[in-house]
A and B are shown apart, each in its own frame.
Chain A
């Protein structure tokens, strides 16, 4: 009754091609982003920053990146953890080598370096597809983590082999290090997420996005109608790795503060991000967010209910959470194999007709 498009006529192609075609959607998103920028920074505290908001934002970027590669271009990758490590180590080397560098630039450069590495490891995709490609990218995961463990130059020859983010600033405000205020790290991540989500949307709705989807849906037909598979696949790898590298840089320097490659960027991270986009919805921008939120917030929610609310022992709850999350993943995949974004889309379609569905 309230949520509908009737009366909202599109008189130009420009209007018809905008991101949110329904006025209510558009206003809701604008208000939501305004709320996130203008209200949340005043309310945020350390707990909300560290366990809820920043992880969701960081994983959203990683999920966006992987979704571009897997969901839009159809190239299955299990190298996410390794590429995040590249971003993390790039940001570490950049922050330690150029202490004056603005963190925004550090993060972008880290993304750029990861994009280059991504292209390199994306080369096999020109020859192999599907599960075989997944195995090839798996090799990159293990190789990169091994590399960062074995070559001391990457961790500046520190005795522990760990990398620790030094305190770095944006416009005089600490973003990394223990003294960074919660609102600053949050706003830093939020800005990057909003900008990159917009860029992802722009890329996927234009020529490049269509060439990715064409390769995904039918690669031979795509090539015959004029899509260059080389360009489409490698650009998908580059953009995807760029995002994942940015996520890795933020994950290490803003969120963790200190990292050790095997622990922080292991194969479990690759699978975690893959689960996020499968649960959220392959080939949707919104799905990347909802999947990232689902996978990072569900454990927090269960923990708060069971430990905080019911007073159960922590170790028991930790195991219960694993079982519950696994069960929920299965439930949602059975209910809707195309992910939560598809459920949301169906709900919206129903809502458009409500309360008179016939």
Chain B
């Protein structure tokens, strides 16, 4: 087993990741780490490779080079659903809820990695399948209470307003009780009030559930307030890495965001 004793407080480390699609280099030689129980922000201009980075972390893309260490083990290249079972959950930039299902069913689907009665018990329903269902329902109801979405429990998510859908999607990711939660622009397109709610939820998740969070967000105010450390990407390269204050005062970051005259 590849234990590395001196960095036990690291939940995730990506080392020298390079990803390209054909001739397009998306990420080149990116390394950073995520400590247990921190909120880690990944920022950068559009097209910087932030979402690709998340896609690599949850196994949807397989990088050409580099390695990923999760929870003290070097990770072999695996299908996304197996990586989800190791304890990585995420939300998506464009809402990726299951539109035909109710809020409750969406959250229950989030717990799918934890359910395992076989198809024959499921067909019978009475017995193990029902017990499992109720046991997980109780957990899901706690999340519903936490996110204050009791009133839309049975509503098909396709009918919900945008802000609510974002909240349900967070709920679905929470339901997985993952070690690492990847949030891809959780506040995109929200109004101020919804953003405040969402910030509160993210902080509470971090506190109450001891979940480590990796966050992509464009709202710099939010990023600087929420996160413990920030990594900045631009055109597939890492520009900076550090606490919000360090990043804020980093000249290359300022240049990348504000633009400079190249000479």
Contact = CB atoms under 8 A, between A and B. Distances in A.
A30 to B, nearest CB: 17
A325 interface: no
Interface stretch (A80-88, A95-103, A147-155, A221-229): A221-229
Interface of A: 13-14, 17, 199, 202-203, 205-208, 210-211, 213-214, 216-218, 220-229, 235, 239, 283
B80 interface: yes
Interface in B86-128: 89-90, 92, 96-101, 105, 108-110, 112-113, 115, 117, 119, 122-125
B79 interface: yes
Contacts of A207: 108, 112, 115, 117, 122, 129, 132-133
Contact of A221 (B96, B113, B132, B134): B96
B15 interface: no
Interface residues of B, number: 40
What does DSSP make chain B's interface, helix, strand, loop or mixed? helix
A17 B101 CA distance: 15
A222 B60 CA distance: 12
Contacts of A17: 130, 133-134, 137
Contacts of B79: 223, 228
A249 B176 CA distance: 42
Interface of B: 58, 60, 79-81, 84-85, 89-90, 92, 96-101, 105, 108-110, 112-113, 115, 117, 119, 122-125, 129-130, 132-134, 137-138, 141, 172-173, 176
Contact of B81 (A206, A210, A223): A223
B124 A202 contact: yes
B112 A210 contact: yes
Contacts, number: 107
Nearest to A208: B122
Contacts of A228: 79, 81
Contact of A203 (B96, B112, B119): B119
Given A208-B122, A226-B113, 16 more contacts: A205-B125, A207-B117, A207-B133, A210-B109, A211-B112, A213-B105, A217-B100, A218-B97, A221-B92, A222-B98, A224-B58, A224-B80, A225-B84, A225-B110, A227-B81, A229-B81
A17 B154 CA distance: 11
Contacts of A14: 130, 134
Contacts of B96: 218, 220-221
6 contacts: A207-B112, A217-B101, A221-B92, A225-B109, A225-B113, A227-B81
A224 B60 contact: yes
Nearest to A14: B134
Nearest to B112: A226
Contact of A224 (B90, B108, B125, B137): B90
B135 to A, nearest CB: 9
A241 to B, nearest CB: 14
Shortest 6 CB-CB contacts between residues of A and residues of B: A226-B84, A221-B96, A217-B98, A226-B113, A202-B125, A199-B123
Contacts of B125: 202, 205-206
B133 A211 contact: no
- Interface-central residue, B98, B101, B134, by most chain A CB under 10 Å: B98
Contacts of A224: 58, 60, 80-81, 84, 90
Contact of A13 (B110, B113, B138): B138
A228 B116 CA distance: 13
B176 A208 contact: no
Contact of B172 (A203, A213, A220, A225): A225
A13 B137 contact: yes
Contacts of A226: 81, 84-85, 112-113, 176
A213 B110 CA distance: 13
Given A13-B137, A17-B134, A203 B97 contact: no
A206 B129 contact: yes
B176 A210 contact: no
